[in-house]
Chains A and B, each alone.
Chain A
Amino acid sequence: MMLLQPGFLASVPVQNALLIGAGAALLSGAAGVFTVLRSQSFAGHALADVSSAGGAMAYLLGISPLLGFFSLSVLGALALEVIGTRRAAERDLAAGIVLGAGMGGTALLLYLDVTVKGSAGAAVSVMFGSLFAAPPGLGVAVALGALAGLLGLGLIYRPLLLASLDSELAKADGVNTRLLGTAYLLLLALAVTLSAMAVGAILSTALLIGPAAAALRLAHSPAAAMGLAALLGLFCAWGGVWLAYQSYGWTPGHVWPVSFFITALVLAVYAVASLVRRG
């Protein structure tokens, strides 16, 4: 049994997977810092669940999964804004409602995928990801999406930070907190979409929250936390792809799910960060 598989970087699916993983991890890591600071993890998870309906829809219509996931998570973000912006306590409620509706839609669309399209693998792929089976052009699209998201995040960084510190104070300083909240949710929708491309809809919260929470334990400023979270996310994504590639040699003929390795590394990174902080 070979422990190290040859030709890692020469493989085209691997290159594609590395590109998707990098884009997803960099944007989710950086954006996730604000998700944690604003206590919006549940909203992030709700967006991911809603986006899975888009993933299932993409199979049915034969369109790009990126487009499917993204259109539905944007719709989810707008629904969150419409339902629950009057009071902070309403946010979790809104997330729960949107999540339920989204998953209901996913159930129907996945059923149609199987009955109409005969794609039996759609459910696993949408929910848990299938990074090595991603369409060839997806890597570049995800990388471009991540770049756009990071630029947007940089543009709203200061007002977003102020609003995340104290929303009333931000308003007094002249920040349109309502508009900013919506802009951030849209960025979150993008981050969640890209992560769903890498590890599937259900697991995308791991890339969003894990590296960010770990970085916040270690960093001394929000900007440093964003940079560190992006790097930690990148380590998990690439490490996961590499381990999955190696797993072909452990159980010959079978590659273990990449998502398993990525999320396992996220957990490990968070655990180590917690130990370092305490120690």
Chain B
Amino acid sequence: MTPALNVEGISVALGGREVLRDVGFSLAPGAFCGLIGANGSGKTTLLRTILGFTAPSAGRVTLGGAVGYVPQKLQLDPDMPIRARDFVELGLNGHRFGFPFPSRARRARVEELLSAVDAKTFADQRIGELSGGQQQRVLIAHALIREPKLLLLDEPLANLDLRAAAEIIALLKRVAAQGVAVLISAHDMNPLLRAMDRIVYLANGRAASGKTQDVVRTEVLSALYGYHIDVIRVHERILVVAGEHGAHGHEHVAAIP
């Protein structure tokens, strides 16, 4: 089975600094993968490299098909007069030139996507007026409408409350079950623990990847960070903490990502 995404030993330099070094992993169709790392660890940079916005200085990215992208937040004016429904439709034909004649088949397809992401009730509202969670759904529908093989999401849970986050995760899980590989970045892995079957963990510009339980381990993460890390499990939550030899040298316990 050809992978939906193959990242082979990529290094990326930004502003003269190497942000990613020799990062490699691959995603099979239907994989649900968390891209986890602290602020500034290079999650967005890795996603941008996969999208082709940033050229790697070494290595290469191979895609198994079309890619859908969900940016963290739309940079738009709340007064922008565009309904959620029309925004989803732009996912289908927004890249095409030519007159936007309405078509019944296209409308039906938009309707299908709107119900798939549970966005029918607010489909006719302006997108700038939607809540963070509602906007996420519309963005996901926009990204899915062209049937991508890979869905990239940059911090989709960042501004959501627990319930909205759980709903988005359940939605993405259904997407993965249809055979779409899902790569979702987050600085906290806990909300994703039940859902994700793979993880790419970024620290120090390098990545550890594989099955979640094989990567989120004291030895693996200590090697990645370059100093001792404790992986602590409490009440089905995982805390990754720097012990007494932490960044500031004095005794403290802090969750790193």
Listed in ascending order, the chain A residues whose CB lies under 8 Å from chain B are 37, 154-159, 161-162, 165-175, 216, 219-225
Contact = CB atoms under 8 A, between A and B. Distances in A.
Contacts of B98: 155, 158
A162 B94 contact: yes
13 contacts: A158-B90, A158-B93, A158-B94, A158-B96, A158-B100, A162-B94, A165-B74, A165-B87, A170-B94, A173-B94, A175-B95, A222-B81, A222-B82
A108 to B, nearest CB: 40
B67 A172 contact: yes
Given A154-B100, A158-B94, 11 more contacts: A37-B80, A155-B97, A157-B99, A159-B95, A159-B96, A162-B90, A168-B71, A173-B90, A173-B94, A216-B79, A221-B82
Contacts, number: 79
Contact of B76 (A157, A166, A172, A225): A166
B138 to A, nearest CB: 11
Interface of B: 51, 53, 67-69, 71, 74-77, 79-83, 86-87, 90-91, 93-100, 126, 142
B95 A162 contact: yes
Nearest to A176: B95
Most buried by B among A173, A222, A224: A173
B81 A159 contact: no
A159 B97 contact: yes
A158 B68 CA distance: 18
By DSSP majority rule, is chain A's interface helix, strand, loop, or mixed?
A: helix
A165 B79 contact: no
Contacts of B100: 154, 157-158, 223
Contact of B99 (A155, A216, A220, A224): A155
A169 B74 contact: yes
A154 B100 CA distance: 8
A43 B51 CA distance: 30
B97 A172 contact: no
A159 B92 CA distance: 11
A182 to B, nearest CB: 14
